[in-house]
A and B are shown apart, each in its own frame.
Chain A
Amino acid sequence: MRVVIVGAGEVGSSIAASLAESHDVVVVDVDSERVERLTYEHDVLTVEGDGASLDTLRAADVSKADIVIASTDDDETNLAICGTVKTASGAFTIARVQNRAYLETWRHSQGVFGVDFMVCTDLLTAQSIVRIVGLPTARDVDPFAGGRVQMAEFEVTEGSPLAGQTVQEADRFDALTFAAVIRGDDVEIARGDTAIDAGDKVVVIGRPGSVEAFAAAVVPEGGADEVGNVVIVGGSSVGELTGRLLSERGFVPRLIEQDPERARELAETLSKTTVLEHDATDAEFLEREHVGEAGLLVAALDSDERNLLVSLLAKRLGVNRTVAIVDNPAYVDLFEAVGVDVAINPREVTAEEITRFTRERRMENVAIVEPGAAEVLEVEIDEESALAGRSIREAVADLPDGVVVGAITRNGEFVTPRGDTVVQVGDHVVAFVREDALDAVTATL
């Protein structure tokens, strides 16, 4: 497949990197340095120029493209690119935007602006945060099959009832499959005798209710206090959207914003959120407002450094878990290493979302569990699939090692996959796949 990516910033580069191996990728950017660097880093074709101009797009041979991804940092440019592409090509267009108003317009009338698929960075980020809030112990949660299946990653901490058990012992949940145990960089496919130790991360796939029950079981005794008490620091767009999504789910979050005008604006738009106007790095203020009693704190300030500071401060005051927005992807690991529970990079989230659209058509949904280590795929089974009409035990024998069938939905109903479950054409299969098995699995499923 031929994919044209316009905008070689972090999002564009990240998408290019993950697609370069299996597709023909063309990257367009106005910045000659970036273009040059990409040429050497990845096996992609680069074109220098303004992606919103027809000439540049022609130079990138856009008429032959299957997918065009507009991922510059400017919303309007991205929309203009998609509109321009439509005049010269039948390619599927994907636009990345930050302003949620465009997303709402697009949802209202799909295909508007010449955009076939739109991703909103801030909304995606907020959604990731909210999913994590919903499962107090999860590090990552992704919905599949229209929300009927969830994939979640948990960290097994010291004192968790799961620590020291084997998968078989831990497997007492209906409609839940253990996919993998991740130890350091090592992804181990879960077998009955796989041991779960403190410090490991566990990936499970199952019905949302079961995942919730599992989430509760992972927590050490007495550790599951009120997640209801959520504090958001920073009234950025992500902070605002997080507040909105949380209040839509019945939470009454508190949001701290320093700028009086922005604080007032947020207080007006977020009717169910208590907005506090103050500097969130003021420890005395945090103490006075009993922020330490919060179950979760989301740091969504404009600067990574301040987000780190606030998160650590909150931890010291006693906040159970902290989620920090990190703009610089290089900091993600660092943040988690020094004590921030979850670090989220909006561009990474966006790249992930766009990547799943550029996979083979049959792939409905993709979640990247650990970048470069494992993915979770959702596939609709057709007649050519290796799974069609066979039991899972038989089929898996033909597949490479690193794959687990985590869940099946049939006509919208959840089916727990067991060895003798026979997969039918039309079923949606959610599978955990280790990176090394990815190509083989996508080819046969």
Chain B
Amino acid sequence: MSATLRVDWRASVSLTGRVVKWLTVPMLFPLALALFYGRGLKAILPAIAIAFVVGWGLERLHSDPAAALGAREGFLMVALTWLLISVVGALPYIFEGSLTAYGATSTLRLPVNALFETMSGFTTTGSTVMGDISFETHSRALMMWRQETQWLGGMGIVVLAVAILPELSVGGAQLMDAEAPGPGIQKLTPRIAETARALWGMYIGLTVLEIVGLYGFHQLGMAPEMTLYNAVAHGFTTMPTGGFSPEARSIEAFTAVVQWFIIPFMVAAGTNFALFWHVWNRDFNVVWDDIEFKTYLGAIGVLTAITTGLLFTTPGFDMLTNALEPSLRHATFQIASIVTTTGYASMDFNNWGQHAKYVLLFAMFIGGSAGSTGGGIKIIRWVVILKTLRRELFTAVHPEAVRPVRLGSTVIDEDAIRGIYAFTLLYLVIFAFGTLVVLLVGVPGQELSAFEATSAVAATLGNVGPGVGIVGPMNSFLPFPRASKLLMVFFMWVGRLEIFPVLVLLTHAYWRS
């Protein structure tokens, strides 16, 4: 039977095992916090032990997995890695819920919920099923692990693996391509491992900058709530466009200064990191000439203007009407948060007028830039789609015209255009079908409107985080039945990996010659 298999699955699993084994290293950070605060050790320590054993065991499956790594093994490895780290990463939640007295009320002690939360973390979605976001129910160590999953997932766990595991340098480009958001990857340096390190370097740099800034405001007395713990926790989830906050009220818990300060970091997180690389190398022209970047800023600008106008003029429960600064601040914050798929909330936008909420739902489908940590369909795809549609209109009048689609001065390959159309169509099909299923399954004891179901699927598939109504920023995905939650775990998974690396595994052609 295995003779007809064309995939060396052992190699993929072995590499996945290696990543899981290395996952124990970042787990040492919450372990240290558990020791520092004297709480949470029972949750973290067994998880580390299991992760190590599982990882080490799987690694044994193949003696030289890197050598056997082809395109097919790459897909499997990337897809499996994200699934498996989410399973292993869920262990601390389950352990704390079941092994400690304080965790007995934790909703995360149930494996489905724990898996949902971890997948939401690693995929930087930011949707939560936590019933009670507080340090009473959860240890600070566990809450930091929740933040840390997002930070690890943001720039990409596989990118990180390529950066630090020398044996992955050969197939690294393929692996990164399967994981990276947006069509194709940009090699910044001749060696892929160096590119991976450069990306992680910029990512770490920006994260540190944000943490220092946030804590700085605290020190200056401008942000009393922004303790060092909170500064680190929010630094960990802004740059990956994650959206988890250890504060139940998300960013609403902080002062206006903090809210304004976080906006540019969200925008930066949704920007192609290659641009930071060019800025770092003083090659500013690349930034000015980047059509995706300009469109991205333009989209945020236009949507912010519309939302500000709506908040400023439309009476509601929001108390923003006729108050310019808060209208502008919340509109800018929320639009940046949704377009970049961060998913923070500076206030409960459930209380906004219906029109403003429609704008937010629309923004969920735009997504960040390619090569950023943002999710969604991505700006670049929309740019290409709009340009192709314009070409179709032109060639309808001039059938003989040959019109390549250009981004700035680069011509986009027709195959790439087809790939973009295929992706977007598939994305929308999954979205539509998923919405239907979630709507049909419903929520026990509650009325689930179509708008709410739509926003829930858009929020998980696009890795955005919160939706509206029942899944609004101050609510959670907890009420959904188990089937819907598992489906959303799948949405987050395929959404983060941009569908194909996962879906290709479900085809017959992938497994046979």
Contacts and interface: CB of A to CB of B under 8 A. Distances in A.
A276 B411 contact: no
A289 interface: yes
Interface in A231-261: 256, 260
Interface of B is mostly: loop
A274 B406 contact: no
Contacts of A110: none
B400 A264 contact: no
A256 B402 CA distance: 10
Contacts of A271: 406, 409
A143 to B, nearest CB: 29
A341 B307 CA distance: 61
Contacts of B508: none
A278 B404 contact: no
A344 interface: no
Which of the four size classes fits the interface of chain B? under 10
B282 interface: no
A381 to B, nearest CB: 45
Interface string B399-424: 01111101001010000000000000
Interface string A272-294: 00111110000001000100000
B400 A278 contact: yes
Contacts of A264: 402, 404
A94 interface: no
A263 interface: yes
**Which of B401, B403, B411 has the largest number of chain A CB atoms within 10 A?**
B401
Contacts of B400: 256, 276-278, 285, 289
A268 interface: yes
A80 interface: no
A275 B402 contact: yes
Given A268-B411, A271-B409, A276 B404 contact: no
A256 B406 CA distance: 20
A260 B404 CA distance: 12
A268 B398 contact: no
A117 B227 CA distance: 72
Nearest to A271: B406
A30 interface: no
Interface string B125-148: 000000000000000000000000
Contacts of A267: 402-404
A251 B234 CA distance: 54
A313 B364 CA distance: 56
Contacts of B411: 268
A209 to B, nearest CB: 33
Nearest to A285: B400
A287 to B, nearest CB: 13
Contacts of A274: 398, 401, 403
A285 B400 CA distance: 9
B401 A276 contact: yes
**Which of B404, B406, B409 has the largest number of chain A CB atoms within 10 A?**
B404
A21 B409 CA distance: 51
B409 A263 contact: no
Nearest to B408: A271
B406 A276 contact: no
Contacts of A277: 400-402
B78 to A, nearest CB: 32
Contacts of A289: 398, 400
A435 to B, nearest CB: 47
B402 A276 contact: yes
B351 to A, nearest CB: 49
Contacts of A276: 398, 400-402
A259 B402 CA distance: 11
A220 to B, nearest CB: 33
Contacts of B409: 271
Contacts of B398: 274, 276, 289
Contacts of B403: 267, 274-275
A12 B398 CA distance: 44
B401 A275 contact: yes
A266 B402 CA distance: 9
Given A268-B404, A274-B398, A275-B403, 9 more contacts: A256-B400, A266-B402, A274-B403, A275-B401, A276-B398, A276-B400, A276-B401, A277-B400, A289-B400
24 contacts: A256-B400, A260-B402, A263-B402, A264-B402, A264-B404, A266-B402, A267-B402, A267-B403, A267-B404, A268-B404, A268-B411, A271-B406, A274-B398, A274-B403, A275-B401, A275-B402, A275-B403, A276-B398, A276-B400, A276-B402, A277-B400, A277-B401, A278-B400, A285-B400
User: Top 3 nearest A-B pairs by Cβ distance?
Assistant: A267-B402, A278-B400, A276-B400
Interface of A: 256, 260, 263-264, 266-268, 271, 274-278, 285, 289
Interface of B: 398, 400-404, 406, 409, 411
